[in-house]
Structure 1
Amino acid sequence: MDFIHQLLSIIFPLLTTLLLLFFLPPYLLFKLLSYIFRSFCPENVAGKVVLITGASSGIGEHLAYEYARKGARLALVARREDRLGEVADKSRRLGSPDVLIIPADVSKPEHCKVFIDKAVDYFGCLDHLVSNAAVVQLSMFQDVTQISDFHRVMSTNFWGSVHGAHFAVPHLRKNKGKIIAIASIAGFMPLPKHCFYSAAKAALISFYEVLRVEFGSEIGITIVIPGLIYTDMVLQHAYSSEIQTGFLPGQSAERCAKSIVASACRGDTYLTQPAWYRTFWMFKMLCPELLDSICLLLLIGKPRSAKKTS
């Protein structure tokens, strides 16, 4: 058996390389033609029901505005009811015919069931689930004294999305709906002080990749991988004082949201925004040591030890 594995370790990479030389050009041409076709025939979401978690600020807020401009009916979920009300009012002015606000915490499974049930009871169906809610806590792992202090990162960023999808799937399947999962570049880049956040986002990417295979054409899944987006979370002093982001050009939450909605309506499987961040995938596959060095730049000029979290 060891001999077989040794033989495959030599032969399989060679056969794969040869196969890619013949297969890759027509495959890329097919993807280009498919993208062009889907760009000219996107889904019309006017009148459709879109539920967005984490809709009180940042990307989630601007997703609400972009869907509203396209005439979608909205169910907006977040913890801050006052901010949800403001986002709902603006969404109505931008063109949404009906907006429902549901104060809830996605880190609590019972809340996830409640906001899905409320949205379906109110609108009668569900077409898009946008799983966007997230929190971030920064710390060098060596400075963590209580791992339990970071449970909320996983509970919100991963389990909150899982529970929401679990309760939404039966309703999405009825309409051949879509899930738009907002992950992060941190899901595959080794960003310092983001170990728990990165782990949650990496788990999120893998989870929805498996669901895409399991659901097939029944439910469309778009995995969004944003890079540096100028949201309240990133612009706050607590973040900028810990991480050096000046050498990385970012993007506004509004522009990012426009790209996400367009991508979801095209039925894309992945969206990296800004698009040039996709080159980091190449670094990770071909020269991971270089990617490690790039990520280390995030600490240059910043304290290497974060404040204790407990």
Structure 2
Amino acid sequence: MMDAIIHTFLDLVAPPFTFFTLLFVLPPLRIFKFFLSILGALFTEDVAGKVVLITGASSGIGESVAYEYAKRGACLVLAARREKSLEEVGERALYLGSPEVLAVRADVADPDDCRSLVDRAINAFGRLDHLVNNAGIMSVAMLDQVHDVTDFREIMDINFWGSVYMTRFAAPYLRASGGRIVAVSSAGAWLPSPRMSFYNASKAALFQFYETLRVEFGGDIGITLVTPGIIESELTQGKYFTSQGRLVVDKHIRDVEVSLTPIESVERCAKAIVKSAVRGEAYLTEPAWFRTTFFWKVFFPELVEWLYRVMCVSGGAIDGNEDDEVEEPLGKRVLDYTGAKSVLYPDSLDATDPKTD
């Protein structure tokens, strides 16, 4: 009986209290954070000579983030599964200003590889200052088309557990240096993009994992939680797992998924990530305008769901890759008929195919 009274009381009190908070607390808090951001811009961390470990560094955001840290004079430990591509990134990072680069072939889905990767970084440099958890893969499939859901365990193993392993093994060294974790989640953590349920779930898990670690770490280890929108990368070049769990490149399906959303260049995104990290910022959504999608989802969830269905799902069926039948929705048709892709997508996006070595 008492618990019913308590919860009824809270049901009545919580909404007006929330409204009061938004009306009177949020504005001064935003002003305070604005001044903090100015201070952050004036007193940025100097990473020259410091050690930065980056996963998923052989391409995309991870590759470009490595170049941005290199330009600032950081020592780099680069990790990915593609050794040849990784070595090429390392050579360019040295050219751009990194005093020393260690390239390590590693699979973040393997906890032993993650432990060994951190150990090699410490053995080589004696310290660790920034950990950039960037490694990730994507799947594109309607749940009803998935033949065996266990084929998609790798999405969670890499996107979520890979960051968990790396964080656990690196945490003692980051704590000792007063270091920082840069965790690359995604706006997919809150946006219900169709055909991306496994990917979105992995990024939502990653987001909440680091939100909780903020409380656990306190001020010992800084966390910059990055939620990119649609960024130029192998993912937006059409590389993903099909409904049968096979890795393919299909730019047609990419156009269905991305639709009329502008794609930001990977160089611009990487610059924003490193700038945010050295400023000690807690959150970064890039491009900045993409932050508004969070509020759309919070305040107008039905509208967001309707727009996704109309723009990315509804329409006549067409053939996608050999595994999946994909509908050609309104967004894809508008993209084709208007030629909007030449304006919304970077010229460099399809200049080269995703790396496969």
In the TM superposition, 1:82-93 aligns within 5 A as: 82-93=84-95
Work out whether residues 160 and 206 of structure 2, in 8 Å CA contact, stay in contact via their aligned partners in 1.
yes
Shift of 1:233: 2.3
1:150–1:85: structure 2 CA closer, same or farther, 3 Å change rule?
same
In the TM superposition, 1:159-174 aligns within 5 A as: 159-174=161-176
Residue 97 of structure 1 corresponds to 99
Q: Using the TM superposition, name which of 1-10 and 70-79 deviates more.
A: 1-10
Work out whether residues 189 and 295 of structure 1, in 8 Å CA contact, stay in contact via their aligned partners in 2.
no
CA distance in 2 between counterparts of 1:287 and 1:270 reads: 23
CA distance in 2 between counterparts of 1:26 and 1:41 reads: 23
Work out whether residues 110 and 162 of structure 2, in 8 Å CA contact, stay in contact via their aligned partners in 1.
yes
Q: Using the TM superposition, name which of 231-240 and 42-51 deviates more.
A: 231-240
- 1:292 counterpart SS class: helix
Residue 280 of structure 1 corresponds to 293
Q: What residue identity is the alignment partner of 2:80?
A: A
1:192–1:74: structure 2 CA closer, same or farther, 3 Å change rule?
same
Unpaired runs of at least 5, structure 1: none
In the TM superposition, 1:61-80 aligns within 5 A as: 61-80=63-82
Shift of 1:78: 0.3
1:303–1:102: structure 2 CA closer, same or farther, 3 Å change rule?
farther
Instruction: Indicate the structure whose relative CO is greater, using CA pairs within 8 Å and at least 6 residues apart.
Output: 1
CA distance in 2 between counterparts of 1:187 and 1:305 reads: 28
Q: What residue identity is the alignment partner of 2:49?
A: G
Q: What residue identity is the alignment partner of 1:192?
A: P
Deviations 1:5-32 (A, max 9, x none): 1222112211232233221221111000
TM-score by length of 1: 0.96
Q: What residue identity is the alignment partner of 2:92?
A: K
CA distance in 2 between counterparts of 1:88 and 1:125 reads: 19
1:196 to 195, 198, 209: 198
Q: What residue identity is the alignment partner of 1:290?
A: L
CA distance in 2 between counterparts of 1:15 and 1:54 reads: 44
Residue 257 of structure 1 corresponds to 270
Q: What residue identity is the alignment partner of 1:284?
A: K
Q: What residue identity is the alignment partner of 1:229?
A: I
Work out whether residues 145 and 308 of structure 1, in 8 Å CA contact, stay in contact via their aligned partners in 2.
no
In the TM superposition, 1:1-310 aligns within 5 A as: 1-236=3-238, 238-243=249-254, 244=256, 245-296=258-309, 297-299=311-313, 303=317, 308=323
State the percentage of identical aligned residues: 46
Shift of 1:291: 1.2
Shift of 1:278: 0.6
CA distance in 1 between counterparts of 2:96 and 2:298 reads: 43
CA distance in 2 between counterparts of 1:107 and 1:301 reads: 37
What count of residue pairs does the alignment treat as equivalent? 309
Q: Alignment RMSD, CA only?
A: 1.6
Q: What residue identity is the alignment partner of 1:255?
A: R
Work out whether residues 233 and 239 of structure 1, in 8 Å CA contact, stay in contact via their aligned partners in 2.
no
Shift of 1:3: 2.7
Deviations 1:132-158 (A, max 9, x none): 000112110001111110010000000
Work out whether residues 223 and 271 of structure 1, in 8 Å CA contact, stay in contact via their aligned partners in 2.
yes
Shift of 1:43: 0.6
1:302–1:150: structure 2 CA closer, same or farther, 3 Å change rule?
farther
CA distance in 1 between counterparts of 2:143 and 2:14 reads: 38
- 1:242 counterpart SS class: helix
Unpaired runs of at least 5, structure 2: 240-248, 325-357
Work out whether residues 238 and 253 of structure 2, in 8 Å CA contact, stay in contact via their aligned partners in 1.
no
Q: Once superposed, which parts of structure 1, at least 4 consecutive aligned residues long, lie more than 4 Å away?
A: 300-309
TM-score by length of 2: 0.83
